[in-house]
A and B are shown apart, each in its own frame.
Chain A
Amino acid sequence: MTYDECRAKGYDFIVGVPCSCFKQFIVDLQSDTAMSYIAANREDTAVAVAVGAYFSGKKPLVFLQNSGLGHVVNIVSSLLIPYNIPIDFLISVRKEPFEHTHMYKITKDIVSLLEIDSQVYLIDSSSHS
C-alpha cells in the first residue's frame, strides 16, 4: 500500500516501527503536514499509542515489519480484542535474509490466530532490499 492509498482510506493518525520497505512511505507521511505521525520504538507501544488516538476519535493505522508481530500478541489479545478496539495494521512481510525466513513461514498463521477484527494489510517486501 502506498502512502496515497493509505490517505485515501481515511487514516488520519499513523504510528509504527520502520522496515526498509516503509522508507518511502515514511518520507511521504512526514512531508504531509496534515498527518499526525509518531515514530514508535516498539510495536506494542505503537499499538498503545494508536489506542489513545482511537479514543480521541481518530482513525489510526499501525505499521510494522512481521518480525515485530510477536511484540503485539499480548496487546492484541488482552486489549484490542476484549475491549473491542478496532486498530488497523499495515505489516511488511519479509522472507530474506535467513533471520526472517521462519517468521515468514508463520506470519499468515499468526495473523489469523490473533483474530484481529479490523483491517490487516500484508505487503510483500521482497521487492525491497
Chain B
Amino acid sequence: MTRLEAVQAVLDSLTNELLVVTTGYLSRDVFKIKDRKENFYMCGSMGNAYPIGIGLAVNNPDKRIVVLSGDGAALMSLGSLALGNSLKLPSLQHFIVDNGKYASTGGQPTCADGIDFSQFHNTTVYSVSEDEPASPRITLGPIEMAERFRSCFV
C-alpha cells in the first residue's frame, strides 16, 4: 500500500465525521484529496493530533471523531495513546499511517518497529511500503482552518 492509498482508504471510510490530521505530508494529502470543513489540519505541534481528538471526543460523545497520524507523530506522543487506552472513548477512532519513517523530512527511519500500534484503543494501522511525492502545501490560513472547524461544533 502507498501513502496516498492509505489516506484515500481513511477518507473513503468517512461520512460526516470530524477529522484531525497530523503535521507533514499527511495533512497536505488530505487537503489535496478531499478538503472539507470537518477537517482540521494540525500543521506543527507534532504528536498532538490524537490528544486534540481526545478533547473533542470527551466533549462530543455523540459525534464520531477521527484522527489521522503518522508513525513518527504517534511515537512523539506515545503517552497520549496510553491516555486514550485509559479513557477508552467509544467515539474516538485513530488511524496511523505507518511507513516506518519520517517521510516528510526526507525518509529517515523511525523506531516504529519497536511498537505494536494496534494495541491501542480503536486504532487502525495502515502499513505503507511505498511513498509518493509530497502533495502541494495547504493554501488555507491557520485562523480560517480553526474557525471553520470550530463552527462544526458551536
Contacts and interface: CB of A to CB of B under 8 A. Distances in A.
A13 B45 contact: no
| Interface residue SS majority, chain B | helix
A13 B59 contact: yes
Contact of A74 (B40, B45, B150): B45
- Of the listed residues A13, A41, A74, A77, the one surrounded by the most CB atoms of chain B closer than 10 A to its CB is A41
Interface residues of A, number: 31
Contact of A52 (B45, B46, B51): B51
B45 A78 contact: yes
A40 interface: yes
Range for the number of chain B residues in contact with chain A: 20 to 34
Given A48-B52, A79-B42, A82-B142, A41 B57 contact: no
Given A36-B59, A74-B44, A74-B46, 10 more contacts: A41-B83, A44-B77, A52-B53, A52-B54, A55-B153, A57-B150, A60-B55, A78-B45, A79-B42, A82-B143
17 contacts: A38-B55, A40-B83, A41-B80, A44-B45, A44-B47, A44-B77, A48-B50, A52-B56, A52-B59, A53-B55, A55-B146, A55-B150, A56-B59, A56-B153, A58-B59, A78-B45, A83-B146
Interface of B: 40, 42-60, 77, 79-80, 82-83, 87, 142-143, 145-146, 149-150, 153-154
